[in-house]
Amino acid sequence: MGQVDIAEFLKRGLCVLVGTRDASLMPHCVTGSAVVLAGPGRGVVFLPSFESAPALANLLANGGIAVLVEEPTTHRGIQLKGEAAAMREATLEELRVVAEFVARTKAELSAIGFAPTVLERMNFTPCTAVEFTFDRVFEQTPGPGAGRPVEVRA
Amino acid sequence: MKLSDFMHCFQGVTPAGIATCDADGTPNMAMLSQVYYLDEKHVALSCQFFNKTRRNVDQNPFASVRLWDPVTLQPCLLQLRFLRAETSGPVFDEMSSRIDAIARATGMTGVFKLISADVYEVLSLTVLQGALEPAPATLLPWNPEPRQAGREELRGLQVLSDRLCRARTLEALYAELLASMASLFGASHALLMLHEEDCGKLIAIDSRGYDRVGAGAEVKVGEGLVGTVAQTRRPLRLSGMAAMRRYTRAVRESAQKRGMALGAEIPLPGLSDAQSQLALPLVAHDRLIGVLALESRDPLAFEEWHEAYLALLANQAALAIAMLSDREDEDDDARVEPQPAPLPSRRRLFTWFAGDESVFVDGEYLIRNVPARILWKLLREHAQGRREFSNRELRMDEGLGLPPVKDNLESRLILLRKRLQERCPDVRLVSVKRGRFVLERDSEIALEEKP
């Protein structure tokens, strides 16, 4: 089994995608503005308001959450799976962290050829903070190893 | 709003995200390199590794796919229902050809392989409003009035058709075809390769837009983009190649970590920084004539309609090449007197290597196989005082090894001319009449033979 240092990985420029599902097991995919660790097996993912309503409704109803973070220039990625614990407005301090995360994301997208005029238009805030716990982490880099569990390295 | 309004999202320039959910209700996220548009109600996803996404939709058929417009990054969301996994048929073949071409180009053959084309019904399409700030007026794309754009394309087709019909020689036809790709259709980099049936290869005959013509370059049928198109006889379009290279590199590294043996990464031919390629088979009378390959640095240079539209042109070009190749030589007894040769100012040494039937000039490779045999015959007879030659006599010469039918003689002579032009411009084969040419030289010619 491979190993991953999640805190280190989250310092990179990353794109965030979040999967939830409703009562009829219909999945739903939204983008995330940022992800941060809040302790061992605990994280906070920020969902931009323009599209978060269905995801928040799903999380309120059943809590199941999958958070994928991927580095666009290398496609290196991991997925955290667990349960949503709480939803609330992002604090001012969190919004500062989100802004830094988004700046790194945009720098990555710029490195693969997107123009500043295009990136400037992307909205990541305002956003809702979703606190979640995770007990499974998976390799998500495309290829034969995608989807295999990885061990979390502190 | 129609699915086809978002065709840019299906070019593979930006990856897509997919959410699925297993029977126990646990969601799963994954990235996709490309979503394939099938029709207004259906898309297909490539299953290359039997992964969690596929296992989930086998349990629970619903999926949620997020796509981004590669120009504006406007996201849209497709809610899907898995219908079936196809392992044969036109959709599978089309996707498989594309993936095989990518795999061959990146040394991923055998690893990067289509297991199935997974067909999904599109339940809903949502453009995610609010994801982007309003565009400044300067960023709004220019959108020509569709009827007018259609007329311009039809006009381009008519102009090229006219040019092909008027071409009296194969050389003129090749030149018109390649020049028209740039002037009429904006494809600034174009390469024409002809099929050599006897050796299972394609040989470059002429090109436009590259630093060098590359005449004589060879590709095996089945190798790379051009070879795949020759093998399948179907057009193949690759867009967003930078994204594709990043994706395959990630797969490659993942495969290597798992101890899989991979071939050397073969650089894609032509532009080192090509962002899109379109290769079209030239087929006439059920016979593969060659492949026309177009490249661009624009990741969205070739769209789906180009494939269909330029395939029409390719068909017409193939028929014109076949007809001109099959025309009987029209040489007669009325010989045209060539100009006297200029005085030799330098010396060129031609060497015939009998072992691999190749000709070198001043120690550098010039040409091999049939065109080399033709050149050697011309040079030897020229040394004995002859200057004028006919296609007919070449066809009659059994020692040259031309096939009795469909000998491609005219194209082989064009290739020979191009190679001489590139490597030894002071020796030329100049047409003086249909089916007749003279060997002109500005230098003294020395010949030697080696085993």
Residue A56 within a domain: yes
Angle at B87 between CA B82 and CA B91, to 5 degrees: 75
Q: How many CA atoms lie within 13 A of B89 on its CB side?
A: 9
Residue A100 within a domain: yes
Angle at A34 between CA B18 and CA A112, to 5 degrees: 70
- Among the partner-chain residues B15, B26, B251, the one whose CB lies closest to the CB of A64 is B26
Q: What is the pLDDT of residues B29-67, one digit of tens each?
A: 998 878 899 999 999 998 877 689 999 999 999 999 999
Residue B434 within a domain: yes
What per-residue confidence (pLDDT) applies to A14?
95
List B residues 200-219 in contact with A (Cβ-Cβ < 8 A). Answer: none
List the single best residue of B22, B24, B31 to mutate versus A (max A Cβ within 10 A): B31
CB contact under 8 Å between A66 and B130, yes or no, is no
**CA separation for the pair B258, B88 (Å, rounded):** 29
* B205 and B124 both lie in a single domain: no
* B126 and B200 both lie in a single domain: no
Helix (H, G, I), strand (E, B) or coil at A133: strand
Domain that holds residue A106: 3-142
Q: Which residue has the tokens 């200029």?
A: B342
Residue B136 within a domain: no
Torsion angles phi and psi, residue B369, rounded to 5: 60, -145
* B60 and B189 both lie in a single domain: no
CA distance B245 to chain A (A): 10
**CA separation for the pair B216, B359 (Å, rounded):** 13
Instruction: Tell me which residue of A149, A127, A128, A132 sits closest to A62, measured CA to CA.
Output: A132
Q: Which chain A residue lies closest to B79 (C-alpha atoms)?
A: A28
Residue A12 within a domain: yes
Q: Which residue has the higher pLDDT, A125 or B186?
A: A125
Judging contacts by C-beta atoms under 8 Å, the chain A residues touching residue B33 are: 142
pLDDT of B344 strictly over 60: no
Q: What percent of chain B has pLDDT over 90?
A: 26
B297-319: average pLDDT? 82
Residue B249 within a domain: no
For the CA atoms of A49, A54, A56, A58, what is the dihedral angle to 10 degrees?
Answer: -170
Instruction: Decide: B84 and B158 in contact? Cβ < 8 Å.
Output: no
CB contact under 8 Å between B254 and A26, yes or no, is no
* B89 and B203 both lie in a single domain: no
Q: Which chain B residue lies closest to A116 (C-alpha atoms)?
A: B72
- Provide the domain count of chain B: 3
Range in A132-136, A141-145, B129-133 the model is least confident about:
A141-145
Residue A112 within a domain: yes
Q: Which residues of B116-139 are buried (b: 16+ CB within 10 A; e: fewer)?
A: bbbbbebeebeebeebbeeeeeee
Residue B28 within a domain: yes
B375-391: average pLDDT? 91
* B157 and B225 both lie in a single domain: yes
Residue B251 within a domain: no
Beta-bridge partners for B290: B194, B282
Q: Which two tokens stand for residue B12?
A: 């593979």
Residue B315 within a domain: yes
CA distance A93 to chain B (A): 23
Q: What is the CATH number of the domain that holds B225?
A: 3.30.450.40
* B183 and B230 both lie in a single domain: yes
Instruction: Tell me which residue of B224, B225, B215 sits closest to B194, measured CA to CA.
Output: B215
* B297 and B159 both lie in a single domain: yes
CB contact under 8 Å between B29 and A74, yes or no, is no
* B366 and B421 both lie in a single domain: yes
What per-residue confidence (pLDDT) applies to B269?
45
Residue B138 within a domain: no
CB contact under 8 Å between A27 and B20, yes or no, is yes
A98-107: average pLDDT? 96
* A and B: number of Cβ contacts within 8 A: 166
Best-predicted range by mean pLDDT (B161-165, B207-211, B281-285, B322-326): B281-285
What per-residue confidence (pLDDT) applies to A102?
96
pLDDT of B147 strictly over 50: no
Residue A49 within a domain: yes
* H or E element at residue B409: helix B409-423
Residue partners of B166: CB distance under 8 A and separation at least 6? none
* B297 and B226 both lie in a single domain: yes
Q: Work out the pLDDT band at B268, boundaries 50, 70, 90.
A: very low
Q: What is the CATH number of the domain that holds A75?
A: 2.30.110.10
* B439 and B407 both lie in a single domain: yes
Q: What is the CATH number of the domain that holds B428?
A: 1.10.10
Instruction: Decide: B279 and B47 in contact? Cβ < 8 Å.
Output: no
Domain that holds residue B397: 347-450
Which of B99, B130, B161 terminates a domain? The answer is: B130
* B62 and B9 both lie in a single domain: yes
Q: What is the pLDDT of residues A29-63, one digit of tens each?
A: 999 999 999 999 999 999 999 999 999 999 999 99
Q: B242 and chain A: CB distance < 8 Å anywhere? A: yes
What per-residue confidence (pLDDT) applies to B259?
63
pLDDT of B140 strictly over 50: no
Residue B342 within a domain: no
* B410 and B373 both lie in a single domain: yes
Q: Which residue has the tokens 């790709």?
A: B181
Q: Which residue has the tokens 């740039």?
A: B182
Torsion angles phi and psi, residue B112, rounded to 5: -90, 85
Q: B247 and chain A: CB distance < 8 Å anywhere? A: yes
Q: What is the pLDDT of residues A15-32, one digit of tens each?
A: 999 999 999 999 999 999
Residue A148 within a domain: no
pLDDT of B330 strictly over 60: no
- Among the partner-chain residues A66, A117, A119, the one whose CB lies closest to the CB of B28 is A66
CB contact under 8 Å between B31 and A142, yes or no, is yes
CB contact under 8 Å between B242 and A113, yes or no, is yes
Instruction: Tell me which residue of B294, B75, B97, B291 sits closest to B180, measured CA to CA.
Output: B294
- Provide the domain count of chain A: 1
Q: B131 and chain A: CB distance < 8 Å anywhere? A: yes
A50-77: average pLDDT? 94
Residue A11 within a domain: yes
Q: Work out the pLDDT band at B295, boundaries 50, 70, 90.
A: confident
Instruction: Decide: B310 and B278 in contact? Cβ < 8 Å.
Output: yes
CB contact under 8 Å between B27 and A20, yes or no, is yes
Which of B130, B160, B194 terminates a domain? The answer is: B130
Residue A150 within a domain: no
Torsion angles phi and psi, residue B363, rounded to 5: 85, 0
Alpha-carbon distance values, B220 to B67, B113, B225 (Å): 37, 20, 11
